[in-house]
Amino acid sequence: MEEDSGKLINSVWARELDLPPSCVEFCPAHPSYFLVGTYNLQKDEVDAHTPEQDAGDDDNKDDAKSQAAKPKKAQSRNGSILVFQLQDDNNIVPIQTEPQPSALLDLHFNPIEGFWDICATVSSTATLAIFKLSPGPEDDKPLKHLNTMDISSLSGGDISASDGSEILFLSVCWHPSRADMLAVTTNTGHVYLVHLPAWDKGWKLLPEPATTHTLEAWTVNLSPYFGPTDSPEEVSFRIFSGGDDSKLRFGTVIWSPSDDHLTETISAVEARGHDAGVTAILPLFVLEDGSELLVTGSYDENIRLFSLAPYGRPKNLVEMGLGGGVWRLKLINLDKTPSPTYNWRARILASCMHAGSRVVDVLQTVDGEHHVRVLGRFEEHKSMNYGSDFHPQRKDSLTVVSTSFYDRLLCLWQLDIA
């Protein structure tokens, strides 16, 4: 490895799970608890396949979502949601297992304070489910299911799979300032917005796609954009999406919650600076000139920093290879207070498929140059690292749980960082 490849980290705890893990996240409301979603492609007596047997040699084919999105035939998948507690002595205790009729591809807790215990999951049968995590001293099943709806029910019957095809939800993202809105992506290349006026009923998927890719839409993220609106109840925001077509797309919309009307105010723009599918998107912040800084991950193994002006083409400020497809990005912290060495710095946890996990800094130096620096790397996973997350309240060191798919491994590791 190169000198700047970061410190090699050893695990402090590891366990093999019953099913392959696809996603993981700590609960902001109960920081010692985290959820793991699993994905299992069931064998049948006619034609037994696993994602690994169907996979090709390159990263673009060798992953759960890609195999799910491009089935050779209708396939049966199931999964589970696992609840764990990370104790003070770094022991991880299994708390609850909730079997799911479909495989899980993504899960996220609501980012709005007061709703931090609400979790959304999406599945291989295009279902959206909402759960609430409420641990108690006498409750051995703290994860409560509130509601599940599939894409046909969500859209009032406007959207359904045609004969011989499947629709899968590949990722989900909450709105950063509205607790009642989220976005989902599909294997058919679409990004949809969903309004949730209540957790257990009344959900509505806006049938007109917010944006579209020509191949699978792997990822989506939303960013507040405080542009002009005609009514105080209207919400203006940006939609960022990445697809297997190697494109980063972004545009600005206004949403009216009363009638779920969506208006595109700035048409979607494509950024073409990726050499393979765009799999992760992390908005950072908006500069004084209105440009937004955004970090992306790709199957091409690079992490990139873009500057996105409200109009015009995005500018690629810096990129760096991380040794594996960059599947997920999670912001650890953002420091916009100038220091003797940088004007701003974003510390990020990256899940890098066959390369394992990376902790990286993306920053602008006092000279105005942009850099990516690897601080640490965890490489004990023997297969695809699709999910990693960190304990949100431990300040003495960065405490991370990470997973890998085919070897079904769940690991705990720590990195001391200033």
| Confidence label for 59 from pLDDT (cuts 50, 70 and 90) | very low
Average pLDDT, the chain: 91
User: Which helix (H) or strand (E) is 64 found in, with range?
Assistant: helix 64-69
DSSP string of 241-277, one letter each residue: EEETTS-EEEEEEEEETTTTEEEEEEEEEEE---SS-
Question: Which of 272, 254, 269 lies closest to 310, judged by CA?
Answer: 269
- CA-to-CA dists, residue 106 to 183, 220, 245, 314, angstroms: 12, 11, 20, 28
35-68 burial, b if ≥16 CB within 10 A, otherwise e?
bbbbbbbeeeeeeebebbebbeeebbebbbbbbb
| Confidence label for 311 from pLDDT (cuts 50, 70 and 90) | confident
pLDDT tens, residue by residue, 174-198: 999 999 999 999 999 999 999 999 9
The answer to whether 109 and 116 are in contact (CB under 8 A) is yes
Residue 45 has pLDDT above 80, yes or no: no
pLDDT tens, residue by residue, 113-146: 999 999 999 999 999 999 999 999 888 999 999 9
Distance CA 402, CA 400 (A): 6
User: Which helix (H) or strand (E) is 54 found in, with range?
Assistant: helix 51-54
| Confidence label for 275 from pLDDT (cuts 50, 70 and 90) | very high
Residue 70 has pLDDT above 60, yes or no: no
pLDDT tens, residue by residue, 212-246: 999 999 999 999 876 777 788 888 999 999 999 99
Amino acid identity at 255: W
